[in-house]
Structure 1
């Protein structure tokens, strides 16, 4: 199902491998749009500055190049749609989270200056140093301090020799906090948020593109249906002019003129009703179609395509293969796996917190300068090493955290399983809709050809006075309904195609460029209704007699 796709932009081929994330694509999309717009608008004197779209020309242009394509809408989405712009901030937010998490390992500068200028024990203490936490849970510090004056006997450690004291210290967890600690977990979880930024953008694009595609094809269909209703009105108005002349000449009854006037009023009301629906879809499409300033832009009537693109059913494919490809591309399972890893890190930390706190500590210091006391008890190099330990007896915090994370992991596993089932279900529904929509289009086209030929034969009978205007109107209405059904069948096919592409996790803009490059369909519709080759008048006369059960027809056949 369109698994390998390429798009032309600026004369170059841009190909996205299935495993590439949308983040990589979004880095290229701005240049891609600009190059594509430049190629399509080459030779045009005026370009729609409000649209800023790939291939959109001036609203005043009456050429086919003015048609608004699905690729134009998606290019506008990628550039300016608020939800996509919001999603594009996810990498910046995640980068900020990583930077913030690494802040736990910042080198810290500390200093102090403390004085006791009054009282019996007058002293002055000053110091500065640096410290930082290490990656493996340890803590290292180094500094210099100097203490002068008189000190209480129980605060003698505050006193230093005349040149001060240099000290280094280091502690290292040996059990709890060695393999993992809250600071490292914060870094790992922030890194997961970085990796999840791409799938978040992809998910936003897929959701918005699905809605935009449906609205775009509704807009195209309603525009074509509106044209079909206007053709019906034109036919009734033309017949009304003929009746008016005929009544004045005494060839037609006035009741026929009045009846046709009723038909004109009914068809005008139908045109207005259809136009109201068409305008509503145009307003909805304006939410997705944005100008350079990012403001909604209602599409101009001149941008309406005259026909749908030609329908080219995708080649047959294996549903299991498509499902495997979809599961590898779709962002929902990826995001759940990132969430799973996030909870697993919390559980790993909780298991580590079950261990007792058992740390190795060390401290080395050396005083410099003249001795501060007669005993010179601070002049020797001092080294302190040892161990400290602490453990909660019940350890309820860690055990409770393990219980929480185990439950969350089970929940995420079930959610992941359901998500995979939903993707498979979406793919089955889209696959079924696409296959059956193709058959519906074929049968609707056959039905329209038959309805048009039937209508022409009954017009012959109407001209011969064999049926009245009421019956002819019923047949014209039926042919118009059949024409509209063909339009709706084509709309449903392209909507099903978009649903299939979204279900497979394919890039919407890349797919839209392929669809937009297709030639116009040659199916019958407004402005392209075929005129069946009818038999000769005497053959049609005999056929009508057979249809009406006339005895003359039976005698002629004998």
Structure 2
């Protein structure tokens, strides 16, 4: 039941974001509810990145696990609040046999209060019969006794005690669990997009090697005809057969890489029931359909301080620091002596009972209780530990903040290089294709060399592969930057 609720809640959060990605237009009809529409988007037509993000956000087990951990933390918070629940207590006492026949019925309501760690209470008690002198306190008048009172702390437990600490600590822990959900979502969506781009790149590489093989196979037909007619030497046919084997090997390696990439993507690509879906090659988009890489200048607009403020790792560490400070306050509280006060007012009503006229009055009682441990080694040891844990968290926060800054700088450097490499690779592809066409023309005219034709074709294919991999590097860098800067819409979250 909780899992279903988590999915519905997550859908409500994800849907308004429209799952926008740079260069990928997303329309309202692309936002599918949980169930059949999601399954349809995964199995029919071109697989777009927003469909992958929607699938992983709604169905990936790690995200659902994080929601369950948050629900558990909220349960702990509710349980801690129960320390101040109103308590009702009833008591019945009766002497069944013996010389005395006294008995009473008592009901009490007790409520804890946060100020001064106080407890307030009110009780009603009515007795009947006679009691021995050592149970004289059990007598009441005919209509019973009403008592109200309070107990409170004046030194230890005045500002904080275990109950109030637990309430605040579980509240902060629930906040950490909520941030942990975001952290898990960011990591999952980032890895899902990376798997998608690797799958797309592997599919593009297959296309390159298939074209390269088709050219060699078509040439083999022409060479065979030329050898049969005596226009070509038989060694040319053998040379091309060797070339065919090499290109078939490259294609098989590309197919293996594509199968591996598809399997990796299926880990994040799941239907509404959570079953993995392996994408088919027919679902591959072209790089032209996916748009261009974002320019580095577009990404560096965000202020670094704003990024650090939003990073979930630092947010959860700040909450952990607050929890540690509260724990130190609790341990310092343990060092103080205990001085507790108590006030009670009681009054009997009705006809004077068997206890006599001494019970027919309004009684006010005030009391103090004092205690102090002389050595307090246990409390001092726990305080020292709490202070050391706080210092550790402060140092960890500084280290992670520096680490995030270095990570962002490296991502931007990678993306900037990927943009330049993509541009250079595109130019190289154009030049390589020009050289291939020129060499083929020379070969047809009898002025070229078969070895040079193959060399030019494979150089052009290598240039295309480098362009694909430069694009892949840029896509992964952009994905990592969006995760590092908490760009929720770009990751299919809002």
Answer yes or no: same fold by TM over 0.5. Answer: yes
- Shift of the 241–216 alpha-carbon distance from structure 1 to 2, 3 Å rule, reads same
Segments of 5+ residues of structure 1 without an aligned counterpart are 1-23, 43-47, 60-65, 514-558
Contact 1:41 1:57 in 2 (8 A): no
Partner Cα distance (1:479, 1:115) in 2: 102
Partner Cα distance (1:41, 1:404) in 2: 51
Partner Cα distance (1:34, 1:345) in 2: 40
Task: Report deviation, 1:110.
Answer: 0.5
SS of equivalent residue, structure 1 residue 288: coil
Partner Cα distance (2:355, 2:304) in 1: 86
Partner of 1:506: 487
Partner of 2:254: 274
- Shift of the 319–235 alpha-carbon distance from structure 1 to 2, 3 Å rule, reads closer
Matching of residue 401 in structure 1 with residue 386 in structure 2: no
Partner of 1:170: 150
Partner Cα distance (1:155, 1:223) in 2: 91
SS of equivalent residue, structure 1 residue 370: coil
- Shift of the 32–325 alpha-carbon distance from structure 1 to 2, 3 Å rule, reads closer
Matching of residue 109 in structure 1 with residue 88 in structure 2: yes
Partner Cα distance (1:100, 1:58) in 2: 45
Matching of residue 361 in structure 1 with residue 342 in structure 2: yes
Partner of 2:13: 28
Of 244, 248, 269, the match for 1:264: 244
Instruction: Report which stretch shifted further, 427-436 or 153-162.
Output: 153-162
Task: Report deviation, 1:398.
Answer: 2.7
Partner Cα distance (2:90, 2:355) in 1: 29
SS of equivalent residue, structure 1 residue 316: helix
SS of equivalent residue, structure 1 residue 163: coil
Matching of residue 125 in structure 1 with residue 125 in structure 2: no
Instruction: Report which stretch shifted further, 471-480 or 204-213.
Output: 471-480
Partner of 2:163: 183
Of 177, 182, 187, the match for 1:207: 187
SS of equivalent residue, structure 2 residue 172: helix
Segments of 5+ residues of structure 2 without an aligned counterpart are 1-8, 21-25
Partner of 1:51: 38
Of 51, 59, 62, the match for 1:80: 59
Partner of 1:303: 283
Task: Report deviation, 1:138.
Answer: 0.7
- Shift of the 470–312 alpha-carbon distance from structure 1 to 2, 3 Å rule, reads closer
- Shift of the 318–306 alpha-carbon distance from structure 1 to 2, 3 Å rule, reads closer
Report Cα offsets for 1:186-218 as digits up to 9, x if no partner: 111222233334422221121112211211111
Partner Cα distance (2:120, 2:387) in 1: 35
Partner of 1:253: 233
SS of equivalent residue, structure 1 residue 506: coil
Instruction: Point out 4+ residue stretches in structure 1 off by more than 4 angstroms.
Output: 24-27, 31-38, 317-321
- Shift of the 320–397 alpha-carbon distance from structure 1 to 2, 3 Å rule, reads farther
Contact 1:107 1:131 in 2 (8 A): yes
Partner Cα distance (1:57, 1:156) in 2: 81
Task: Report deviation, 1:97.
Answer: 2.5
The number of residues matched between the two structures is 477
Partner Cα distance (1:38, 1:399) in 2: 62
Partner Cα distance (2:19, 2:460) in 1: 44
TM-score, normalising length: structure 1: 0.79
Matching of residue 339 in structure 1 with residue 331 in structure 2: no
Matching of residue 457 in structure 1 with residue 444 in structure 2: no
Matches within 5 A, 1:530-549: none
Partner Cα distance (2:157, 2:11) in 1: 40
Task: Report deviation, 1:27.
Answer: 4.3
Task: Report deviation, 1:404.
Answer: 1.2
Contact 1:76 1:288 in 2 (8 A): yes
Of 250, 263, 274, the match for 1:283: 263
Contact 1:367 1:381 in 2 (8 A): yes
Matching of residue 228 in structure 1 with residue 190 in structure 2: no
SS of equivalent residue, structure 2 residue 358: coil
Partner Cα distance (2:464, 2:262) in 1: 22
Partner of 2:29: 39
Partner Cα distance (2:158, 2:426) in 1: 73
- Shift of the 406–317 alpha-carbon distance from structure 1 to 2, 3 Å rule, reads farther
Partner of 2:6: none
SS of equivalent residue, structure 1 residue 377: helix
Report Cα offsets for 1:460-483 as digits up to 9, x if no partner: 333344454344323322221111
Report Cα offsets for 1:229-257 as digits up to 9, x if no partner: 00011111101111222222222222322
Partner of 1:324: 305
Of 141, 147, 160, the match for 1:161: 141
Partner Cα distance (1:73, 1:235) in 2: 35
- Shift of the 34–424 alpha-carbon distance from structure 1 to 2, 3 Å rule, reads closer
Report Cα offsets for 1:345-392 as digits up to 9, x if no partner: 111122222222112211122223333337422122221112121121
- Shift of the 49–244 alpha-carbon distance from structure 1 to 2, 3 Å rule, reads farther
Partner Cα distance (1:34, 1:482) in 2: 33
Matching of residue 388 in structure 1 with residue 373 in structure 2: no
- Shift of the 386–100 alpha-carbon distance from structure 1 to 2, 3 Å rule, reads same
Task: Report deviation, 1:449.
Answer: 1.9
Matching of residue 134 in structure 1 with residue 113 in structure 2: yes
Instruction: Report which stretch shifted further, 294-303 or 276-285.
Output: 294-303
SS of equivalent residue, structure 1 residue 126: strand
Contact 2:189 2:492 in 1 (8 A): no
SS of equivalent residue, structure 2 residue 127: strand
Contact 1:323 1:427 in 2 (8 A): no
Of 68, 77, 80, the match for 1:98: 77
- Shift of the 371–510 alpha-carbon distance from structure 1 to 2, 3 Å rule, reads same
Report Cα offsets for 1:510-529 as digits up to 9, x if no partner: 3669xxxxxxxxxxxxxxxx
- Name whichever structure is richer in helix by fraction: 2
TM-score, normalising length: structure 2: 0.89
